[in-house]
Structures are given as structure tokens and as C-alpha cells.
Amino acid sequence: MKLGKRAALIVVDVQNDFCPGGALPVPEGDKVVPLLNDYIETFLREGAPIYLTQDWHPADHISFKERGGVWPPHCVQGTEGAAFHPGLALPEQGVIVPKGSSPNEDAYSGFQGTGLAARLKRQGIRRLFIGGLATDYCVKETVLDALREGFETVLLEDASRGVEVKPGDTQRALSEMEQAGAHTVRIGELKVA
């Protein structure tokens, strides 16, 4: 698979709360960090834009258990848990996309309420490479929205991990994304020339 012109990288929610020791840990969530750093390096070398979504909730967010949601409080704005994993090679040119900031609205997708699709289209981007946390929630919804928006969409399979609230969720998410038209790639398969 070629990176191609008009490609962008979207790194989804690689934050402390989604890594082991965090408030809503994804098993092996931290394992995506070195791989994403490799992808980031590749995209930087190619001059391709990089976006990083950040789950960014107010303290009383609707998805939290206290408000009848399903999740423990996580990624509360300005907390250490909401910070990017310290090992992530945050590029200076990287554009941070906060999401889930409205108290009464859940937002798994990086496209929901962020203006991201319009911004990418304005830049002439056609193909998106998407990876991060969690495969069965925010990565999945971001990939499905990317496809709905008409982008050619590639999941970074080795640089994503699922929460697995129910066993098999990650695998089901992969099937759903592929069925919707997503491609998948691993770092060794990505050609830049």
C-alpha cells in the first residue's frame, strides 16, 4: 500500500487514561505508541499532515457513570489522564483535535462536532490513515465517519488496540470497518515512494 499524495494521518486518543494504569485502560494500549511514532516519522518525512484527536470531557460528561453513562470518568479536560501518552512523538506540525467537550453529547468519532472533515477536504486530502485507541470505539467511529465523508480510509491495524468490554469486540469492529470499505495496513506494508 502506498502512502500517496493527498494522504493524512489521524492518531486517535493516545492518552494516559486509555493506557494501562489510566482510568479507562485499553489492554496493551501503550503498545501502539512506538508503532504510531514510526507512522508519524513516515508522514513527517513525506510532508503529509498529522492530526491527533484528544478525548476531552468536562468533569460532568454524559458518558460518565455518575450521569448514567457506561464509562468511569476519564480524559477530563486539563488532567494528567487526558494528556497524550508521554512516549508519543507529538510532532510540532501535528494538529490537535479535541472532541467530546460538550457535557450533554457523546462523541466517539474525531469527526463529530470538530470540523475535521471540512478542514481535510479544504487541504485536498483524499486518503486517511487512522490508528490509536480504542479500535472498538473511537477508532471504529472515526473510520466509519471517514468513509461516510468519502475519504479512502486505511486502518493502522498494528497501531490500534480495543477495550474489549465484551470479548470479540475488537474483531467485530475490524469486520465492521472492512465491510464498510476500510482497508488495513501494517507498518512494513506502507510504501512511501
Binding residues for Zn ion, rule: CB under 5 A, are 55
Catalytic residue among 19, 138, 140, 145: 138
- Packed helices 140-148 and 169-179: angle between N→C axes, nearest 10 degrees: 10
The answer to whether 172 touches 136, Cβ cutoff 8 Å, is: yes
Residues within the interface to ligand VGL (CB under 6 A): 13, 18, 55, 63, 71, 133-134, 137-138
Count of residues making up the chain: 193
Q: How far is the CB of 74 from Zn ion (least distance, A)?
A: 6
Query: Does the annotation count 75 as an active-site position?
Result: no
Catalytic residue among 55, 99, 140, 145: 99
Which one, 74 or 127, has the nearer CB to ligand VGL? Answer: 74
Query: Does the annotation count 106 as an active-site position?
Result: no
Which one, 136 or 158, has the nearer CB to ligand VGL? Answer: 136
The answer to whether 42 touches 162, Cβ cutoff 8 Å, is: no
Residue 133 interacts, among Zn ion, ligand VGL, none and using kind-specific CB cut-offs from 5 to 8 Å, with ligand VGL
Q: Catalytic residue numbers? A: 13, 99, 138
